[in-house]
Chains A and B, each alone.
Chain A
Amino acid sequence: MTIKTYRQTLHDTLRAEMLRDENVFLMGEEIGVFEGSYKITAGLLAEFGDKRVKDTPIAEEGFTGAAIGAAMLGLRPVVEIMTINFSLLALDQIVNHAAKIYGMFGGQAKVPMVIRTPGGGGQQLGATHSQNIELYYAFVPGMKVVAPSTPADAKALLLAAIRDDDPVLFLENLALYNTKGDVPDDDTPAEIGKAKISREGHDLTLIGYSRMAYIAKNVADALSESEGLDIEVIDLMSLRPLDRETIVNSVKKTHAAVVLEDDWLTYGIGAEIAATISDGAFDYLDAPVRRVAMAEVPMPYSKVLESAAMPTNDDVINAIFQTLEAVGRRLKKVGQSHD
């Protein structure tokens, strides 16, 4: 085990995979000479040269599609799209091509590629640079979408994504890049399609992914300390495929669930989780499933408005307390107020 940041883990894992397999190469805007907008690829151009680390023109459709074409011939491109907002420029290539080519041609061509891209919010980047639109890709059969919340999971899932023969959208988050954690030294890939129970508990199931899984774990730990609550936390890890069984089994045990998401509420990923719980654990529920999501506005620039629009720890805590109250559980209410 080594303690590393999420950012450093991504860098080290990319480097290790490039050393392991010469078919692995990187493409993206400003990833070489500039070393990446978020410096994930720092030093890799100098080490591997411009064949393996390709700076591209600002042409998301063009270079994402080129990565797909290269993957069809057996290379393993890892594309960096500077933020997930810009992936919209490549939507046709991702949805109509990367996700379709294997099935549409009857399994004759694989597309072993990874699209790394961060979601965000909270950095005063305004409406077009703060979105969390991973749902668009998680909606599409043929895609795999993973969203690690810790450095260790980032390593294991990136290893899995690069070695996978299908197109994988690897969701990062601007707010996670500087977070730290223990990272195993061995190269064991995660199993895509599996959720992780990052904290066991009996009182309520708290579900999230990426930044919201990080928040979920922190809130659950804090409430254990302050309120003596025993909350189970599920980190989805994979948005497609979705590990419905882990979710349903947990809710059957806890009888209550709160879903956290950084995207918009209506039609969001939380809606799919809630529907899953309704379908698989309806009779076990003692309270309605609550969702905590971003306010349904274009993200404002103003710090005050931006903070109001984004889900916070307090929003999560309130939703937990309201849900437990609906269950009929009497709470100690240490510190945190709620209505």
Chain B
Amino acid sequence: MTSDFGSNLLYELATERHDMTLKEFLMTDSALSKTKVAAKKAVAKKAPAKKAVAAKSTVKKVVAKKAPAKKAVAAKPTVKEVTPKKVATKKVDGDQLVSFYRDMMLIRRFEERAARAYTEALIGGYCHLNLGEEATVVGLMSALRETDYLFTNYREHGYAIMRGIDPNRAMAELYGRVDGVSKGWGGSMHMFDMTHRLLGGYGIVGGQLPLATGAALAIQYRGLDEVVMCTMGDGTANIGAFHESLNIAALWNLPVVFVVINNGLGMGTTVAKASAEPEIYKRASAYAMTAERVDGLDPMSVLHAAQRAIASARTGKPYLLEVVCERLRGHSVVDPAKYRSPEDVAQLAKADPVPNLAARLIRDKILTAAEVHQIDEEQTARADAADAFAQASAQPDVSTLFDYNYATPVANDSRRLPGDPLFAVVARPEVSR
């Protein structure tokens, strides 16, 4: 199966275009077909076959499928070509790819190190990894300014590191130590750092969406030039908070980019089995919001799409970006992913964005095999160092248990340990009556 993520395909529901007929719509598409085919070939060459959802998204098929559904709002979007910003020279592209590779390899080795610590029972709770998502993570995070904000979900280690958080502190959080990014209070699912404007990993599916919308409201309230990015998994598109938040963001023109990371699976439930419209970016049409679907295995495509999305949000037009990528392992470290067929597993190996980028760097003579190998060694050492740092970091002192009860001290705040009495036991008084 070939794949076309429509990285140049942009559905815009600007109201002035709503009156376009289906014929005009098809003509527009036909006029674009040359560039589409070229783009498709390019994608097909570098990104291996995709299954399920992604496979459906060739341009022609989308149009053909849409025709019968003309009465629905989604039948009317116009397809418009976006000229990707051509990044200056090949040299710059090469530098960017090397930088991506370095970061992707750090995430890869960090996550593998975390998985090992988890299976050794050195870290607890749940542990959801970004393995397979590395190109998506680096592409998205490279598009943000330092002053922009990120809200994400519980599959977040890579995002935390790419926001600039020291891998040592990220790993220490997994170990629940005092040097952890959330001081050992959050764990894998709840990393937070105001300095680097990571406003939280959130463990409740969809919980971060209303919060991100509100952060964007605060930015608008103060007239600032900042943007909020809010990432989520594909399953999140089906929760009420998704609808409420996209509606509010579009209604109030908030500077927020919603990013659906579509790896084809909830835990083990496919997108096709969970979502009546499995091409999730199309949901944006219900909110008159611009949306786009992009190949999440190609960091450069993700970067450019994220740049378009952020530029739009910065002018008060929120944006929905669907990034199609892969989850190389189970839902979390403990999940053996038995629901995957051997064929799927074989395809996954071919889709792996990290070795694919390594191969490309060598093929295009940007790096030598030895240089690629050296990056790997450096990042492996970085992950090992993070693990050593985390293991050496102190456990929180039990006396700090009530340190974060409230931000404003309050009378009669409870600071009792489980066995403590409410009141000191006193001797029975004389009967006074």
Residues of A within 8 A of B (CB): 25, 51, 56-57, 59, 61-75, 77, 92-93, 96-97, 101-112, 141-142, 144, 164-166, 191-194, 238, 241-245, 248, 255, 276, 279-280, 283-284, 286, 328
Task: Say yes or no for B83: interface residue by CB 8 A criterion.
Answer: no
Question: Is A106's CB under 8 angstroms from B186's CB?
Answer: yes
Expressed in whole angstroms, the Cα–Cα distance for A92 and B422 within the complex equals 30
Residues of B within 8 Å of A166, CB to CB, are 406-408, 410
Question: Is B407's CB under 8 angstroms from A108's CB?
Answer: no
Expressed in whole angstroms, the Cα–Cα distance for A284 and B430 within the complex equals 9
**Contact of A62 (CB < 8 Å), options: B202, B245, B408:** B245
Residues 225-264 of B, flagged 1 when their CB comes within 8 A of A and 0 if not, give 0000000000000001100110110010000000000000
The 8 closest A-B pairs by CB, nearest first: A65-B210, A69-B214, A62-B244, A106-B183, A193-B411, A66-B214, A105-B192, A73-B218
- Supply 28 A–B pairs (Cβ within 8 Å), ascending by A: A57-B247, A57-B251, A61-B244, A62-B244, A62-B245, A63-B210, A65-B209, A65-B245, A66-B211, A68-B210, A69-B151, A69-B212, A72-B199, A75-B221, A92-B241, A97-B210, A101-B200, A104-B186, A106-B180, A106-B183, A106-B184, A106-B192, A108-B182, A142-B405, A165-B406, A166-B407, A241-B411, A248-B423
Task: Say yes or no for B418: interface residue by CB 8 A criterion.
Answer: no
Question: Is B217's CB under 8 angstroms from A69's CB?
Answer: yes
Question: Is B218's CB under 8 angstroms from A194's CB?
Answer: no
Residues of A within 8 Å of B433, CB to CB, are 255, 286, 328
Expressed in whole angstroms, the Cα–Cα distance for A97 and B428 within the complex equals 45
Supplied contacts A62-B244, A109-B199, 17 more A-B pairs, CB within 8 Å: A25-B221, A51-B221, A61-B244, A65-B210, A65-B241, A70-B217, A72-B214, A73-B215, A92-B207, A92-B241, A97-B211, A104-B190, A109-B194, A110-B407, A142-B406, A166-B407, A279-B422
Question: Is B210's CB under 8 angstroms from A69's CB?
Answer: yes
Residues of A within 8 Å of B421, CB to CB, are 279
Closest to B151 in A: A69
Question: Is A104's CB under 8 angstroms from B182's CB?
Answer: yes
Task: Say yes or no for B89: interface residue by CB 8 A criterion.
Answer: no
Task: Say yes or no for B185: interface residue by CB 8 A criterion.
Answer: yes
**Contacting residues of chain B (166-215) with chain A, CB-CB under 8 angstroms:** 180, 182-186, 190, 192-194, 199-200, 202, 204, 207, 209-215
Residues of B within 8 A of A (CB): 151, 180, 182-186, 190, 192-194, 199-200, 202, 204, 207, 209-219, 221, 240-241, 244-245, 247-248, 251, 403-408, 410-414, 421-423, 426, 428-429, 432-433
Expressed in whole angstroms, the Cα–Cα distance for A97 and B422 within the complex equals 28
Question: Is A245's CB under 8 angstroms from B410's CB?
Answer: no
Question: Is B214's CB under 8 angstroms from A284's CB?
Answer: no
Question: Is B414's CB under 8 angstroms from A62's CB?
Answer: no
Expressed in whole angstroms, the Cα–Cα distance for A102 and B210 within the complex equals 17
Residues of A within 8 Å of B404, CB to CB, are 102-103, 106-107
Expressed in whole angstroms, the Cα–Cα distance for A191 and B151 within the complex equals 34
**Contact of A59 (CB < 8 Å), options: B182, B192, B207, B244:** B244
Residues of B within 8 Å of A111, CB to CB, are 407
Question: Is B412's CB under 8 angstroms from A243's CB?
Answer: yes
Question: Is A193's CB under 8 angstroms from B221's CB?
Answer: no
Taking A61-B210, A279-B421 as contacts, is the C-beta distance between A106 and B244 under 8 angstroms? no
